[in-house]
Amino acid sequence: MIHRGEIRWFKFSKPDKRRPVLILCREELIDGLDQIPVIPCSTQIRGLASEVLLGEADGMPAACTLKPEWIRAVSRGEIGPLIARLP
């Protein structure tokens, strides 16, 4: 089961790579979707106003940022293992 607020692994097509993504969507809709909206994470923290910082206290293995400008819809079947859950 995939849940809203989870951070999971996802492998993007080249030239991108495998990276954590935050699962977005209303909880009651997720089970019926083939494409799940996600926000990718990056370790390149630039201090932009739109960045949301995450770290070890959030269950992440290293300091990173959510990049809202990178929102994507990805295939449910390609979403990987759980890394962390945000409240």
Spell out the residues 6+ positions from residue 75 whose beta carbon is closer than 8 angstroms to its own.
34, 35, 36
Task: Give the angle subtended at the CA of 73 by the CAs of 63 and 64, to the nearest 5°.
Answer: 5
Per-residue pLDDT tens over the stretch 24-71: 999 999 999 999 999 999 999 999 888 999 999 999 989 999 998 889
Domain edges within the chain: 6-85
Taking domain 6-85, whether its CATH number is 2.30.30.110 is answered by yes
CA atoms within 13 A on the CB side of 52: 13
Whole-prediction pTM? 0.90
User: How would residue 9 be classed by pLDDT, with cut points 50, 70 and 90?
Assistant: very high
**Number of helical (H) and strand (E) elements in the chain, helices listed first:** 1, 7
